[in-house]
Homo-oligomer: A and B are copies of this chain.
Amino acid sequence: MIPEKLVEVIKHEGVATIGTYADEKIHLSNTWNSYIVITENGKLLYPAGGMNVTESNIEKNNKVQMTVGSREVEGFHGPGTGFRINGTAAFIKSGPDLEKIKQKYPWARAVVEISIESATQTL
């Protein structure tokens, strides 16, 4: 379900972005590619420190779009590729996923969990 190339992308450091929308305002928040963990069942997890607007937006509208890419991974036209992911997001604020992520990122107040509906290579 997760394309091999997407797995390769997040092995290279870079800025990943998720976009949410509520109350007639768009909001983007970021994580680093290196913070993203792919679960066995194909979800993406990463720590949330702040991300308060993202959290309040997804309480109203959990549909998100995410982009992740790397200039160092070969794409359709040479070096550089990226993905556009459609899915839903949830903030996990207790339980084993949070405890595990806190071991690496003690500042994490939650885990952002992205359930992927589609992941399209754009470049």
Interface size on A, residues (CB 8 A): 28
Specify which chain B residues have a CB less than 8 angstroms from the CB of A30 in the assembled complex: 67, 69, 82, 122-123
Determine which of B13, B15, B65 lies in contact with A28 in the assembled complex, contact meaning CB atoms within 8 Å.
Answer: B65
How many identical chains are in the complex?
2
| A63 touching B28 in the complex, CB below 8 Å, given contacts A14-B71, A15-B68, A69-B15 | no
20 examples of A-B residue contacts, CB within 8 angstroms:
A14-B14, A14-B71, A15-B15, A15-B17, A15-B67, A15-B68, A15-B69, A15-B71, A17-B17, A17-B67, A19-B65, A20-B26, A21-B21, A26-B63, A28-B28, A28-B66, A29-B67, A30-B82, A30-B122, A30-B123
List 15 extra interface pairs beyond A26-B26, A32-B71, CB under 8 A.
A14-B15, A15-B15, A15-B17, A15-B69, A15-B70, A17-B28, A19-B19, A19-B28, A26-B65, A28-B28, A28-B67, A28-B84, A30-B67, A30-B82, A32-B80
